[in-house]
Structure 1
């Protein structure tokens, strides 16, 4: 199986005149004036704007709507049912992505897999707008979540085809930043429809909620078209018969990738550290609303605080990308892990009122986008680029299965001690483990 990196640098244009961009040292991407994004980078970034609308709606609106369907059907196990639905979606992606990622590393396959998962997510999001019973709705939602997360795995690996190593932190950070602020636009429209629709449209709240799913799907499509029109796969493996050879060699390639990861001490340490700290980050995000509710904080305050987090995350994610260019991505990840230790301590010992919850939301927004964006770009720098989808498949396993350990720690500690604050404090164990591993790891990108 031949390994190949396509040269897409516009060398001819660079030689024709002073205004034409010259090639980077890699010969793959044109130089752009400082502070500016290339058209290809912008078209990659806007997919974050599209899919983040569904992510935000899933965080704030979908659970409430699903709960109303369950209650109407007389179901009393709402929390566990919703938890099982989330777990099924995560496990399917964790199992599928390394296998499909290996096939997608073949020339021309990445965009096909991305398109397939994207269309699945959008069609299922549209399906959520139908008047379904609770079980049918949960099945459609799980399929939409699988479509979303599947597309994100291939989208993440497209980063290496979109920009150079030198610009990867900046571009990844802009993706998260614009995703945060862009997702608030359809979210605010959806909230307005849900609360104002019954009076203005003469529909009940459930019907207005279903309209919000339709709005989100259309937004998702609109901001995906630029990426579909512009994307070109730069790094890939070539085969005589692309699909057949890729399928036959998938499990052999996966075993080889696992062995290469195990032998690469620096990469292995980072992946384990990533598992721990991203679990802590996901747990803080997923548990903050329920923790605030238990403290008696008004639901309106919680929703507004969620929006505040999105707006704070926008400039902070961009700033984090710039700081990574100066101090290095790994160093900034370490700083974010330390900051999250402080956030957990604040939530455990000081969070009592709505004002303190707002402070928590601002603190989370300051570091959430930065640590997610730099993890994605740092990983892209230290893996073989012609096996990017395969490696990002393993990255996705670590990211998706990391949604389980933190919530289990919080739930178990709270149940044993009878103290929710002690449960929140248990998240610090994950962050300390990650910090130790990051400090031990030698940075392959350090000069």
Structure 2
């Protein structure tokens, strides 16, 4: 990494910190433990509905709040303050899951939903600090390093928690249920401990805004941004493309385990595959950062989209566990790369002094994608009665996203962003 500012590593460590929630809680233990422990005695279809509604509601709240909160943070110079608030919320709610008893599905969902709000809200302001810790030429590499370190950190803690659930007696625990509950405590501690550097060492430029005017100023800036997006043509076009292809990425992340179960694979095999994705994702994300720095982030994203299309075709035809493992490797190779290069490309296409506000829109689209993608897959599955066709339908999102991305002129977009910042 060349000439990165002193707060860069502190910024990266937040990805190491919060990825524990994304991996161990969201993708790993909560969905399984919710159905088997907290929803004991509840019909499987009903518990699935409860979980799906909670995910959608939490995402919808962030969709509504993200742009406004980003505007307020820019006006008040309060990105780190908002990051601290949402991080604290996520940590407390995750740790509190340990206290929820068997059968208390409503309490578990409430804490889980608030944890998602903390995680997702924090990401808005974490992403927006990228422009404060790096020069433009280093966006690709630093963004990729963040995602790569996140995969490694999340994977290490998840691996420890998986071992703890497989051998609870070795850790002095009464059984698997206690081990899973304790894993939520480990996530809270991990998240809190490794978040400390970003608050201590990342410097955020302060802005002056009249007392009591932050909310009103935030509303005015939000309306202004909506007008600007109509003028920042390449930024707007990229957001549309991002919304489509990241919808496909998030759908695969959220639905891969469900798809594996639906075609008869064992849950332990699926957890192992998730671990494989995490550890492959670490070096792959960093390599994609280098690719973005040399060949341009748009080309790197296009390559990742092509790989995802091949993954979907393979998933449609696979019938053995080793193929699922192979797909886990393939997903790990591109998942971090497409996320990191999207973040760094977007950072090039926005005014630097309004980063939190514009990243609010960016994260809003990402969260809305989580609502739409699984709905498409579920709808196709109901219509066709075939889970394989349902997973293949996700290809529509990648193809449409790639077509729009091919029309994004990065040079023109960067020039327009600089012009707005100067004016």
- Look up the match of 2:371: 404
Q: CA shift at 1:268, angstroms?
A: 0.9
Query: Structure 1 339/446 Cα, relative in aligned 2: closer, same or farther at 3 Å?
Result: farther
Asked whether the 8 Å contact 1:198–1:208 carries over to 2, the reply is: no
Q: 1:216 aligns with which of 180, 183, 187?
A: 187
Determine if the alignment matches structure 1 residue 316 to structure 2 residue 248. no
Q: 1:57-136 residue pairs with structure 2 within 5 A?
A: 57-58=24-25, 59-76=27-44, 77-132=46-101, 133-136=104-107
For normalisation by structure 1, the TM-score amounts to 0.88
Q: 1:286-301 residue pairs with structure 2 within 5 A?
A: 286-301=254-269
Note the alpha carbon deviations across 1:234-289, whole angstroms, 9 max, x for none.
Answer: 3x653233xx2221122221111011112221111100000000000111111111
Note the alpha carbon deviations across 1:97-152, whole angstroms, 9 max, x for none.
Answer: 11111110034411111101111111111111113421111101111110111111
Query: Structure 1 226/267 Cα, relative in aligned 2: closer, same or farther at 3 Å?
Result: same
Larger radius of gyration: 1
- Look up the match of 1:22: none
Note the alpha carbon deviations across 1:333-375, whole angstroms, 9 max, x for none.
Answer: 1121122112111212x32111111111111111100000011
Q: 1:161-172 residue pairs with structure 2 within 5 A?
A: 161-172=132-143
Note the alpha carbon deviations across 1:144-169, whole angstroms, 9 max, x for none.
Answer: 11011111110000111010100010
Q: 1:100-249 residue pairs with structure 2 within 5 A?
A: 100-132=69-101, 133-198=104-169, 200-234=171-205, 237-241=207-211, 244-249=212-217
User: How many correspondences in the alignment?
Assistant: 410
CA distance in 1, matches of 2:309, 2:269: 24
Asked whether the 8 Å contact 2:348–2:414 carries over to 1, the reply is: no
Q: 1:257 aligns with which of 210, 218, 225?
A: 225
Asked whether the 8 Å contact 1:98–1:394 carries over to 2, the reply is: yes
Asked whether the 8 Å contact 2:349–2:414 carries over to 1, the reply is: no
CA distance in 2, matches of 1:63, 1:89: 15
Determine if the alignment matches structure 1 residue 426 to structure 2 residue 393. yes
Q: CA shift at 1:75, angstroms?
A: 4.5
- Look up the match of 1:363: 330
Query: Structure 1 327/126 Cα, relative in aligned 2: closer, same or farther at 3 Å?
Result: same
For normalisation by structure 2, the TM-score amounts to 0.93
CA distance in 1, matches of 2:286, 2:31: 30
Q: RMSD over aligned Cα, in angstroms?
A: 1.7
